Amino acid sequence: MTKKSKFLSLVLRHKPETIGLELDENGWANVDELLQKCVANNSMTMAILEEIVATNNKKRFAFNDDKTKIRASQGHSIDVDLNLEEKEPPFYLFHGTAEKNIESIKEKGLIKSGRQYVHLSSDYDTAVKVGQRHGNPVVLMVRAKTRTYRGFKFFISDNNVWLTDHVEPEDIVFDIDKEEAQRMIDNHNKFQKKMHERYAKHDVLLKNIKDNLPELEKELESVSGLWYEDRMYRFYHHSFKVYDLVGTTEDIVKLLRKINPNEKGENVYRLDPYFERIYMEGTCQNRKFEISHNSIFDTVTRPFIEAFFHARYFLEMAVKYGKELDEAPSSLPSGWAALLELYNIR
């Protein structure tokens, strides 16, 4: 049966002319014609074809729906259009080759030479088997997803072989064994999971803002306009009214904590450490005016102002982006990015 399947590979992938067969532009051969033309060269029956299609270890061949046509799913050296499905590849794919090819691959990358595509597999062991066909096997890892960001396309054949036009050396990981490859995949998956969790929190933040928008807007309004104008004036006028900022900052931060997308108990639940320090310094000391402050008025009150400005900025950004955004964006406007920093989810 292997011999017959190899013969089928020859006529359906490389040299249909050996038996005077013609494939259509999509690589299909007419089954009746194939059987007829095989008689002289290599006895083939419908039952044998069916068995090969069903049992071939790599599902190399496929019938059309009514079994009047057959073709190879990949591996062609002749020019056929398989209408392959373009598909987003996993982060890493594998390529098996022989040791003797490595120097040249390091220089030129993976090239398709005779075939229509460079062939890649999604697992390490398959690549070992492919490599063994050429000599002492070596497995290379291809940064497939990274290549798609640069516009290169990947296709998947009906029998799940990944195909691409070429791979430059800089997108190949050389000198890895199976454990190392697995470790890289695990690390990538861990990173991916973390990123997903983080992005999910962007959505939670936006939802929390929207759910609390009236309250946030009301607060922002109360620290804008004439009130705002007056409080800044009080600082320069050395008036104790500037001490009012402390309570206002606390009110704002209460709201900012209310929309925190992190869960209580998570190690990122506290706000950004810089912000927490600015907030502490601007609210925890010298809260009440004392005569002795007069001589050091700016030293005492500047932390109030600093904390107020930071808190007000985040409140303003929350209101702005709560109104503007319909969903958490992947390219980040600065004010939204600052909010993500505040909640440690950037």
Residues that bind ligand HQG (CB under 6 A): 9, 58, 60, 75, 97-98, 101, 104-105, 108, 110-111, 113-115, 119, 130, 134, 161
Least separation in angstroms between CB 87 and ligand HQG: 16
Least separation in angstroms between CB 45 and ligand HQG: 22
Least separation in angstroms between CB 140 and ligand HQG: 8
In the complex with ligand HQG, which residue's Cβ is closer, 148 or 159?
Answer: 159
Strand partners, 235: none
**What would the two tokens of residue 210 be?**
């929207």
Least separation in angstroms between CB 164 and ligand HQG: 11
Residue 20 region, left (φ>0) first, then alpha (ψ -120 to 50), else beta? Answer: left
* Cα gap 304→281, rounded to integer Å: 8
Strand partners, 137: 98
In the complex with ligand HQG, which residue's Cβ is closer, 115 or 210?
Answer: 115
**What would the two tokens of residue 339 be?**
């909010």
In the complex with ligand HQG, which residue's Cβ is closer, 36 or 104?
Answer: 104
* Cα gap 178→125, rounded to integer Å: 8
Least separation in angstroms between CB 275 and ligand HQG: 53
In the complex with ligand HQG, which residue's Cβ is closer, 109 or 333?
Answer: 109
DSSP character string of 162-222: EEES-B-GGGEE-S--HHHHHHHHHHHHHHHHHHHHHHHHHHHHHHHHHHTHHHHHHHHHH
In the complex with ligand HQG, which residue's Cβ is closer, 8 or 223?
Answer: 8
Q: Which residue is nearest to ligand HQG (CB)?
A: 97
Least separation in angstroms between CB 321 and ligand HQG: 49
In the complex with ligand HQG, which residue's Cβ is closer, 77 or 294?
Answer: 77
Angstrom distances, CA of residue 157 to CA of 13, 60, 263, 318: 14, 10, 44, 48
In the complex with ligand HQG, which residue's Cβ is closer, 141 or 161?
Answer: 161
Contact 225, 307 (CB under 8 A): no
Least separation in angstroms between CB 143 and ligand HQG: 16
* Cα gap 223→165, rounded to integer Å: 60
Three-class SS state of 79: coil
* Cα gap 85→160, rounded to integer Å: 11
